[in-house]
């Protein structure tokens, strides 16, 4: 366990967990929390973890930015605002492009910047009872700093997305799944077990192949089909080279002997760790 003021970072095998730890402010993101996250994300990267779970302590995931500490107090200090923004967008961008699989475990309140974070994680396992919202219009601005990008990419139905951004109406975790924002929604009592089930599936896969799968998805989603074919094949042979062709030499060789079923089982590659 590493020592941070506003978060708790723990490691268990190939899995890292970050908990936001500001219960007095419903785990809102303060300048200190942002600095903590900059360093924690790099610590997880250096550890070469396969999975990073992000959640909050008690009954809250993250209620967004700490409006007083991140906006009101430093507003007339441009250098301070620049420093805060550098930290915020630095670790947000790092999470979006992170080599490990990122899981948002949304256990409660999830607003504004918390919704942005849940949206840029690869997977979101959420409690049915969690409450979500984009409250920015309530104090005279629109969802900014990547939050509009996040909700627009996670709620594909335009009229649904704009409804919540324009009205600041809230919705539940169960509704977040229906809207496309959550991977899976379960009762709060089952949240830990459901998240662990997903983690257990992921850690059986190779670290390099998980990273490449994410990289290829993020690129080809913007490509036309012929370009995607060329890119995907190039990345496949790149992966093959980096893992000493394990997928052929060991996995497919094992399949030929009927030692495992690739449709339902995982073969741990020798050089993909």
For residue 217, being part of any structural domain is answered with yes
For residue 268, being part of any structural domain is answered with no
Same domain, 23 and 79: yes
Same domain, 115 and 241: no
Same domain, 57 and 183: yes
Instruction: Tell me the CB-side half-sphere exposure of residue 59, using CA atoms within 13 A.
Output: 3
Residues 50 and 103: their CA atoms lie apart, in Å, by: 11
Same domain, 60 and 144: yes
Beta-strand pair 15-20/7-12:
antiparallel
Token pair for 46: 């250096």
Beta bridge partners of 123: 103
Looking at the 3D structure of the chain, how many domains does it have?
Answer: 2
Domain interval for residue 243: 207-256
Nearest to 190 by CA among 132, 130, 131, 128: 128
Q: What is the reported pTM?
A: 0.93
Same domain, 192 and 215: no
Same domain, 192 and 218: no
Which residue is it, tokens 């690129």? 219
Same domain, 129 and 222: no
What is the tens place of the pLDDT at every residue in 38-97?
999 999 999 999 999 999 999 999 999 998 999 889 999 999 999 999 999 999 999 999
Beta-strand pair 51-56/15-20:
parallel
Same domain, 77 and 181: yes
3-class SS at 23? helix
What is the tens place of the pLDDT at every residue in 143-199?
999 999 999 999 999 999 999 999 999 999 999 999 999 999 999 999 999 999 999
Residue 164's alpha-carbon distances to 140, 155, 158, 179, 180, in angstroms, are: 15, 10, 10, 11, 14
3-class SS at 268? coil
């Amino acid at each position: 366990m590493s020592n941070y003021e506003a978060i708790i970072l723990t490691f268990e095998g190939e899995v890292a967990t970050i908990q936001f730890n500001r219960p007095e402010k419903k785990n809102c993101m303060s300048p200190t929390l942002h600095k903590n996250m900059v360093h924690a994300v790099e610590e997880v990267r250096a550890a070469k973890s396969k999975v990073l779970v992000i959640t909050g302590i008690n009954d809250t995931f993250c209620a967004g930015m700490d409006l007083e500490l991140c906006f009101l107090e430093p507003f007339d200090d441009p250098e301070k605002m620049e420093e805060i923004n550098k930290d915020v967008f630095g670790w947000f961008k790092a999470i979006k492009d992170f080599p490990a699989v990122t899981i948002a475990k949304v256990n409660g309140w999830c607003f504004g910047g918390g919704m942005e974070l849940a949206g840029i994680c690869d997977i979101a396992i959420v409690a049915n009872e969690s409450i979500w919202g984009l409250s920015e219009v309530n104090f005279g601005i629109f969802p900014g700093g990547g939050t509009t990008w996040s909700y627009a990419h996670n709620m594909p139905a335009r009229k649904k997305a704009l409804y919540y951004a324009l009205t600041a109406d809230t919705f539940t975790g169960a509704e977040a799944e229906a809207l496309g924002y959550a991977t899976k929604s379960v009762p709060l009592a089952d949240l830990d077990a459901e998240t662990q089930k997903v983690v257990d599936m992921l850690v059986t896969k190779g670290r390099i192949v998980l990273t490449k799968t994410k990289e290829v998805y993020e690129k080809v989603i913007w490509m036309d089909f012929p370009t995607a074919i060329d890119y995907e094949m190039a990345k496949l042979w790149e992966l093959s080279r980096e893992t000493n062709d394990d997928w052929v030499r060991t996995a497919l060789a094992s399949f030929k002997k009927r030692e495992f079923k690739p449709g339902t089982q995982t073969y741990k590659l020798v050089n993909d760790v």
